[in-house]
Structure 1
Amino acid sequence: MSVSLTKGGNVSLTKAAPGLAAVTVGLGWDARTTDGSAFDLDASAIVTDADGKALSDQHFVFFNNKTSPEGAVQHSGDNLTGAGEGDDEQIVVTLSSLPPNAGRVVFPVSIYDAGTNGQTFGQVRNAFIRVVNQADSAELARYDLSEDASTETAMVFGELYRNGDEWKFRAVGQGYSAGLAGIARDFGVNV
């Protein structure tokens, strides 16, 4: 049974699904109708240590680097429009293949060319992140973002994190006006 989270809430994925080995993190959104350019939102993942610093620049997984060095994190590819129902982009995380020093996997979403197109998350609706068990396709957790991020061009939707022997998921919902580059720098990725 899926747990619906609010901002800051967390759930133990390991307790919800004993023996959990891999998850699909689905991210989705709809752009509000505007008279400007089409919206292109991009999901990414950053594998960090327990202190929140990227393990390496190659552990920043996105549409131009679709797989982490050890293959534990894989991006499904770029959806340029966000059209249609369900997940717009998916990232598969094989928990058992993550390096021992991996403490978190953070999931930012950014608006491609936001500055040029004058776009912000204030123009995005129905944004969500969900975690699905790869073994049986059961949704374990979901966070529907409701914040009006009028100036932000990137957001951290959520994160998987290690707590002892458990993997948990936290709903984050933190906006960044500095875009994806600002998020990457905050996590120690050289951009």
Structure 2
Amino acid sequence: MSRSRKLHRLGNPDADERREQRMLFRHLRDDTNANRGRMTRRVRELQLLLSMDPVDFERLVARLMEAMGMKVELTARSRDGGVDVRGIDTDPFRGGNVIVQVKRYRDTVTPSAVRDLYGTLQHDPAATKAVLVATSRFGPSSHQFVAGKPITLINGSELVGLLKHHGLHEVFDAAQHDASGFDGGDALPEVEVASEPARLLLHWTGEEEYDIAALVCQGNRALSDEHLVFYNNGSTPDGSVRMVTGYGDANACLMVDFDALPGGADRLVIVAAADTENHPEATMAGFAGPALILEPGADRTPLVVHLADGAAANTAMRLGRFDRDTAGDWYFTPALAGYPGGLRQAVVAYGLEVEEA
């Protein structure tokens, strides 16, 4: 089913739905018992990955890449040059030659591993981007290093989510049972579990391309230039908000770890913008039937907010914002605003300075 046909069914919200939208994203955090059960299952899922044969793990990542629509080649271990899998992403807008390195780590991946992959990317004439896949997590230094570079970091929790999202559920069948049901029982390796980010998916109808951006703010002021996540800055310094690709038929996707956002941040603003750099005549007129979908984590029901169509008078529009209340819970408010001056005008409105072209 094409993206357009699927999204035509999302329709405009009725009055009751609009009244409920303010509460739709409230209570992103689970109650203690539900969270404990989900964490236990995630530990088991990551233990399964960590216990895999190294070659089988590489093949699993290759299968995932194929399920995401890439053409894939496993490298020979004797001459891989630090590359485990090569892929060609044929997407006409986001595609390229991808080199992938996989790490079956139980502890936080060291920043040196990330820097080494960047060195490999720089010396590979065919590669346009690199991906580091790990069974554990990445620290703030690693996320800060890759900011603005063509490198994507995928931690263990995100890997589990991607495998499930693309239909590879059978990998985790054993994790549905007690730990004693695993081969090896209590001998399974311990593993450090990364927090599970929410996925913010943005859909719209039609063929026009738009960019998504997010501003991490305190009130109506962005924390810094580095807390604007957009096409030229794929991540905040701590990795709490990141742009990703490959989530089914989503037009755009942000990973947001709400618990990891800076303590001073109490607002996350979401903006969509026309690609006027490559298409000077583009406007928001083609931004039709937009819907913002929150996938709060594994095995949780996605939540949907339908938004207003774009207008030809604007080249960017604010879609809404997440606000943190005094209890620490986040809630979403559709807060539409048009910007004739595009993303630049939207950024300036939140206190950031932009150099003149």
Calculate the TM-score normalised by the size of structure 2.
0.44
- Matched residue pairs, number? 175
SS of the aligned residue for 1:10 comes to helix
Q: Report how far residue 98 of structure 1 moved.
A: 0.6
Identify the match of residue 23 of structure 1 among 160, 183, 198: 198
SS of the aligned residue for 1:18 comes to coil
**CA 1:157 to 1:148, structure 2 compared with 1: closer, same or farther past 3 Å?**
closer
Instruction: Tell me what 1:60 maps to.
Output: 228
- C-alpha offsets along residues 13-69 of structure 1, whole Å, 9 cap, x if unaligned? 34365258631111122236xxxxxx33100110000x2100010000012211101
- C-alpha offsets along residues 134-191 of structure 1, whole Å, 9 cap, x if unaligned? 2324213x22223452301101112111011211011122211110000000011222
2:290–2:309 Cα contact (<8 Å) kept: no
SS of the aligned residue for 1:161 comes to strand
Higher strand share: 1
1:72–1:95 Cα contact (<8 Å) kept: yes
Give % identity: 24
SS of the aligned residue for 2:270 comes to strand
Identify the match of residue 75 of structure 1 among 233, 236, 243: 243
Looking at structure 1, the residues matched to 20 and 285 of structure 2 have their Cα atoms a distance apart, in angstroms, of 20
Identify the match of residue 104 of structure 1 among 267, 270, 273: 267
**CA 1:14 to 1:30, structure 2 compared with 1: closer, same or farther past 3 Å?**
closer
Instruction: Tell me what 1:188 maps to.
Output: 351
Looking at structure 2, the residues matched to 111 and 43 of structure 1 have their Cα atoms a distance apart, in angstroms, of 9
CA RMSD of aligned residues (A): 2.8
2:320–2:332 Cα contact (<8 Å) kept: yes
SS of the aligned residue for 2:335 comes to strand
Looking at structure 1, the residues matched to 320 and 297 of structure 2 have their Cα atoms a distance apart, in angstroms, of 18
Say if 2:322 is the partner of 1:160: yes
- 2:211 maps to amino acid: D
Deviation above 4 Å: which 4+ runs of structure 1? Answer: none
Instruction: Tell me what 1:43 maps to.
Output: 212
Identify the match of residue 151 of structure 1 among 313, 323, 329: 313
Instruction: Tell me what 1:35 maps to.
Output: none
Looking at structure 2, the residues matched to 118 and 101 of structure 1 have their Cα atoms a distance apart, in angstroms, of 38
Calculate the TM-score normalised by the size of structure 1.
0.79
- 2:231 maps to amino acid: F
Looking at structure 2, the residues matched to 159 and 28 of structure 1 have their Cα atoms a distance apart, in angstroms, of 17
1:8–1:170 Cα contact (<8 Å) kept: no
1:58–1:68 Cα contact (<8 Å) kept: yes
- 1:63 maps to amino acid: Y
1:114–1:153 Cα contact (<8 Å) kept: no
Identify the match of residue 120 of structure 1 among 283, 302, 307: 283
Unaligned 5+ segments in structure 2 are 1-12, 36-195
Higher helix share: 2
**CA 1:30 to 1:7, structure 2 compared with 1: closer, same or farther past 3 Å?**
farther
SS of the aligned residue for 1:45 comes to strand
- 1:41 maps to amino acid: Y
Structure of greater Rg: 2
Looking at structure 2, the residues matched to 127 and 14 of structure 1 have their Cα atoms a distance apart, in angstroms, of 21
